[in-house]
Chain A
C-alpha cells in the first residue's frame, strides 16, 4: 500500500519569500513521486516528477523538489514566491503492481496563499 501526507492544508507566504510545501510518502516499493498544481476551476498540471534519475528535480515555473529516501520526503520549494503561484498543490505517489502501474495516490493538497 502507498500513501502521501501533505503537512499543512494552508500555507501563507509573502511575495518574494521562500515557498516550502511538505510531502511525506509511504510505499512498500520504490516510489515515483509527482507534484501537481491546480488553479481554480481547472484541472491538474504537472510541476515535476521524481523517477529515480536524480534526487533533486527541477520543474516548471521555478519549482524544484528533493527526494530524500531516509526521510521519506519529497518537499516542494521555490526560492521566491510570485502572486501567480497562488493555487492548490498536490503531491502524488505511484508504484507498479503485477499488472503494471497503479493509479496515482494523492495527498490532501496544500492551498498556497501569497501575501502582497
Chain B
C-alpha cells in the first residue's frame, strides 16, 4: 500500500505571496492532519480534516487554512507569507479521527522557504 504523499517536496516563495500544499493520504484513510515543524517551535499541530470538515484546529493565525476533498485528499493554504512561515509542513493520515490511540502515518513533508 502506498504511503502518504505530499507535493511539492520543496518550495520557495517570497513574502506576501500565498502557497498551496497538497497531501494524499494512505488509501482508505479518511482523516488528514497537518503539522508545522520549525527549529525554534518544533512540531506543532495545525488542523485536522475528516469527511471534508475541519474537526480540530491548533493555535495558528487565520492565514493558515485547509480543505479536504471527497477522495480524502487535502490541501493547506498559507496566505500573505511571512519569513517565519519557513518550515517543514508534514501531513499525516489515519483511518478515523475519533480514536485517540490510533496511529497517524506521516508523509515526507513539504519544505517551504520564504524569502
Query: Which of A's residues lie within 8 Å of B, judged by CB?
Result: 32, 34, 36, 41-46, 49, 51, 90, 92, 94-96, 99-109
Contact = CB atoms under 8 A, between A and B. Distances in A.
B100 A44 contact: no
B55 A99 contact: yes
Contacts of B46: 103
Interface stretch (B13-21, B61-69, B72-80, B103-111): B103-111
B70 interface: no
B99 interface: yes
Contact of A95 (B100, B106, B108): B100
A49 B56 contact: no
Interface residues of B, number: 28
A51 B101 CA distance: 6
Given A42-B108, A43-B109, A45-B106, A94 B100 contact: yes
Q: SS class of chain A's interface: helix, strand, loop or mixed? A: strand
B43 A106 contact: yes
Nearest to A95: B100
B42 A44 contact: no
20 contacts: A32-B101, A43-B90, A43-B108, A44-B90, A94-B100, A94-B101, A96-B100, A99-B56, A100-B56, A100-B97, A101-B98, A101-B99, A101-B102, A103-B33, A103-B45, A103-B46, A104-B33, A104-B45, A106-B42, A106-B44
Contacts of B109: 42-43
Given A99-B55, A103-B48, A43 B33 contact: no
B57 to A, nearest CB: 9
